Chain A
Amino acid sequence: MRAPVLEVKGVGFRYEDMAMEFDLAVSAGEFLALMGPSGSGKSTLLSLIAGFETPERGEILWEGRDITLLKPAERPLSIMFQDNNLFAHLDVRTNVALGIEPSARLGPKDEKRVAAALERVGLENLARRLPGELSGGERQRVALARMLVRRKPLLLLDEPFAALGPGLKKEMIALLKEIRRENGFTILLVTHDPNDARATAEQTAFMHDGRILAKRPTQEMFATTDIPELSDYLG
Chain B
Amino acid sequence: MAQRHEPVNRRQGSTAAWVAAAGIAALAAVPVIALAASAGGDGGLTLGAPYIARVLRFTVLQATLSALIATALAIPLAHALAKRQRFPGRALLLKLFAVPLGLPQLVAVLGIIAVYGRQGILNDILAPVGTAEMPSVFGLQGILLAHVFFNLPLAVRFILTRLEAIPPENWRLAASLGFRSREVFRHLKWPHMRMTLPGVFALIFMLCITSFTVVLTLGGGPHATTLEVAIYQALRFDLDPALAARLAALQIALCAGLLLILQRFSMMVAMAPALRARAPRPDSGDRKGRLGDGLLILSGALFVALPIAGVVIDGLKADFLRLLGEPLLWRAAGFSLVIAVSAAGLATLAAAALASGIARSRGLKAQSLRITGNLVLLVPPLILAAGWFLILHRHLDPIALSPYAVVVINALMALPFALAVIEPSFRISFQMHDRLAASLGLEGLARFRLVEWPALRSSLALAALVAVLASLGEFGVIAFFGSQDLVTLPLLLYQRIGSYRFNDAAGIALLLLGLCLVLSWAIERRSPASLRTS
In the complex, the answer to whether B183 meets A84 with C-beta atoms within 8 Å is: no
Docked pose: A87 CA to B174 CA in angstroms = 10
Assess whether B172 is interfacial by the CB under 8 Å rule: yes
Assess whether B167 is interfacial by the CB under 8 Å rule: yes
Docked pose: A30 CA to B279 CA in angstroms = 28
Contact of B176 among A79, A90, A103, A104 (CB under 8 A): A79
Docked pose: A98 CA to B188 CA in angstroms = 12
A72: chain B residues within 8 A (beta carbon): 172, 175-176, 178, 280
Docked pose: A147 CA to B180 CA in angstroms = 20
Assess whether A71 is interfacial by the CB under 8 Å rule: yes
In the complex, the answer to whether B177 meets A99 with C-beta atoms within 8 Å is: yes
Interface residues on A, range: 20 to 34
In the complex with contacts A84-B272, A85-B169, A103-B191 CB distance below 8 A? no
Assess whether B274 is interfacial by the CB under 8 Å rule: yes
A102: chain B residues within 8 A (beta carbon): 177-180, 183, 187
Closest chain-B Cβ to A134's Cβ sits at a distance in Å of 12
Docked pose: A47 CA to B168 CA in angstroms = 12
A99: chain B residues within 8 A (beta carbon): 177
Assess whether B275 is interfacial by the CB under 8 Å rule: yes
Assess whether B483 is interfacial by the CB under 8 Å rule: no
Assess whether B1 is interfacial by the CB under 8 Å rule: no
In the complex, the answer to whether A52 meets B178 with C-beta atoms within 8 Å is: no
In the complex, the answer to whether B172 meets A87 with C-beta atoms within 8 Å is: no
Assess whether A230 is interfacial by the CB under 8 Å rule: no
In the complex, the answer to whether A78 meets B176 with C-beta atoms within 8 Å is: yes
**Residues 70-82 of chain A, each 1 if its beta carbon lies under 8 Å from chain B, else 0:** 0111100111011
Assess whether A58 is interfacial by the CB under 8 Å rule: no
In the complex, the answer to whether B175 meets A84 with C-beta atoms within 8 Å is: no
In the complex, the answer to whether A98 meets B187 with C-beta atoms within 8 Å is: yes
Docked pose: A47 CA to B170 CA in angstroms = 14
Docked pose: A37 CA to B450 CA in angstroms = 38
Docked pose: A201 CA to B205 CA in angstroms = 58
B177: nearest residue on chain A (CB-CB)? Answer: A98
Contact of A87 among B178, B191, B273 (CB under 8 A): B191
B280: nearest residue on chain A (CB-CB)? Answer: A52
In the complex with contacts A52-B279, A84-B167, A102-B180, A71-B272 CB distance below 8 A? no
Docked pose: A214 CA to B170 CA in angstroms = 32
Docked pose: A132 CA to B268 CA in angstroms = 12
Closest chain-B Cβ to A148's Cβ sits at a distance in Å of 14
B188: nearest residue on chain A (CB-CB)? Answer: A87
Closest chain-B Cβ to A198's Cβ sits at a distance in Å of 26
In the complex, the answer to whether A83 meets B272 with C-beta atoms within 8 Å is: yes
In the complex, the answer to whether B177 meets A73 with C-beta atoms within 8 Å is: yes
**Residues 99-119 of chain A, each 1 if its beta carbon lies under 8 Å from chain B, else 0:** 100111000000000000000
Closest chain-B Cβ to A158's Cβ sits at a distance in Å of 9
In the complex, the answer to whether A50 meets B176 with C-beta atoms within 8 Å is: yes
Assess whether A51 is interfacial by the CB under 8 Å rule: yes
A88: chain B residues within 8 A (beta carbon): 191, 269, 271
7 smallest CB-CB distances across A and B, nearest first, come from: A73-B178, A84-B169, A84-B167, A89-B191, A72-B175, A102-B183, A81-B169
